C-alpha cells in the first residue's frame, strides 16, 4: 500500500464552515483527508495523460508508453496500478503467449475524463496569455526587479 494511503476512507471533519459551505482551504491541510488523496492522484501529470489517452479506447501498455513522452516504464506501471485501485482504469489480461494486457477507462474514469477535457480546453484557450505572462515575469527577473 502506498505510504500515507489509508485503508478506509476518512471523512474530513471540520472541512465545512459554519454555514455548511466547503472551506476551499481545508482539504489541503489534512493529510488523512480522502479528498486530498484523490486530488493528489487524479491531478498527477501521468494520471491526467493516461486518462486522456484512454478516452473511448483500449490501449496496451506499450501503446500508452509510446504516447506519453518522458514517462518511465516503472512510473507508468505505478500510475496504472493506482488508477486501477481507485476504480478509474480497468486492466484486462488476455491469456495468450505472451500475455496481452489492455487498459481502458471504467465508467467512473469516463466521468473524470469530462473534467480533464474542460481543463485541457481552458489551457488551449489561455496558452498565449500564460506564455505572455511567463515572458513578462522572466524579463522582470532578468532585470532583477
**pTM, rounded to two decimals:** 0.70
Question: Residue 58's pLDDT is what?
Answer: 97
Name which of 35, 89, 34, 57 is nearest 77 in CA terms: 89
- Which secondary structure element, helix H or strand E, spans residue 133, and what is its range? helix 107-143
Question: Residue 5's pLDDT is what?
Answer: 47
Q: What is the mean pLDDT of each run of 10 residues along the chain (145 residues)?
A: 48 50 57 77 90 93 95 96 96 92 95 87 94 94 80
Question: Residue 32's pLDDT is what?
Answer: 64
Question: Residue 37's pLDDT is what?
Answer: 83
* Torsion, Cα of 31, 32, 35, 37 (10° steps): 70
- Could you tell me which residues come within 8 angstroms of residue 109 by beta carbon, excluding any fewer than 6 positions away? 51, 54, 83, 87, 88, 89
Question: Residue 10's pLDDT is what?
Answer: 47
Amino acid at each position: 500500500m502506498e505510504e500515507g494511503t489509508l485503508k478506509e476512507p476518512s471523512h474530513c471533519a471540520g472541512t465545512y464552515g459554519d454555514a455548511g459551505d466547503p472551506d476551499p482551504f481545508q482539504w489541503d491541510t489534512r493529510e488523512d483527508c480522502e479528498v486530498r488523496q484523490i486530488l493528489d492522484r487524479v491531478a498527477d501529470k501521468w494520471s491526467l495523460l493516461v486518462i486522456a489517452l484512454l478516452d473511448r479506447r483500449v490501449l496496451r501498455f506499450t501503446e500508452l508508453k509510446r504516447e506519453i513522452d518522458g514517462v518511465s516504464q516503472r512510473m507508468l506501471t505505478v500510475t496504472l496500478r493506482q488508477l486501477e485501485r481507485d476504480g478509474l482504469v480497468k486492466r484486462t489480461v488476455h491469456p495468450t503467449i505472451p500475455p496481452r494486457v489492455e487498459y481502458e477507462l471504467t465508467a467512473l474514469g469516463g466521468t473524470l475524463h469530462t473534467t480533464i477535457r474542460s481543463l485541457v480546453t481552458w489551457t488551449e484557450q489561455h496558452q498565449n496569455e500564460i506564455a505572455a505572462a511567463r515572458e513578462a515575469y522572466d524579463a522582470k527577473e532578468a532585470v532583477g526587479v
